[in-house]
Amino acid sequence: MNFSKKNHEHKNNNRCNVSKTIILIIAFILSITFANAQETEKGQTITVNIDKLQSEAGHIIVALHTEATFMKGDGIKNAKSKIVDGKVTVTFENVEAGEYAILVLHDANDNNQMDFEPNGMPKESFGASNNSMSFGPPQFSSAKFDVTNENLEMKIIL
């Protein structure tokens, strides 16, 4: 009978060790998951608001650019949004610190490009960060802004 009691205690110890091992494995997996989730959330958020749009035809295309990509095609981050009640809000997430500019196009005919009149003037509304529009195409030097350690919100007028 004494042997039986020891055998029973040994089984309880084994169950306890297995339970502790399982708990440690789960805790390890959760700590890795949370560490990876924190690593992927680098950078800041840029929220772009556009309002007073005259038409809800087509879409608004918003592109975040570096100096290297500015006016040369797609940005480093791009978004396309429907116009609702004459307004659009687009958010770029996980933007790392640096110097950027934003270009916006109201692609009224949904062909994913800016259309021009025969004289070279744009047919569709466009804008840039800092609302720096002058005669001629937007310039990076006047549209640029810095992303540091704070989220940004800006309004762009088309």
Domains in the chain: how many in total?
A: 2
Residue 118 and residue 54 share a domain: yes
- Name the one residue in this structure whose structure tokens are 């095609």: 73
Which residue in 126, 130, 110, 111 sits closest to 71, CA to CA? 126
The pLDDT of residue 134 is 75
Residue 129 and residue 55 share a domain: yes
Residue 48 and residue 35 share a domain: no
Residue 100 and residue 23 share a domain: no
Q: CB-based contacts of 89: which residues, under 8 Å, 6+ apart?
A: 47, 48, 49, 50, 81
From the number of C-beta atoms within 10 Å of its C-beta (0-12, 13-18, 19+), residue 156 rates as buried
In this structure, what token pair is assigned to residue 11?
A: 């089984």
Please list the ranges in the chain whose pLDDT falls under 70.
1-41
Residue ranges making up the domain that contains 5 = 1-41
Residue 78 and residue 13 share a domain: no
Element (H, E) at 94: strand 88-95
Residue 142 and residue 67 share a domain: yes
**CATH at 64:** 2.60.40
Residue 97 and residue 74 share a domain: yes
Residue 68 and residue 138 share a domain: yes
Residue 134 and residue 103 share a domain: yes
Which pTM does this prediction carry? 0.73
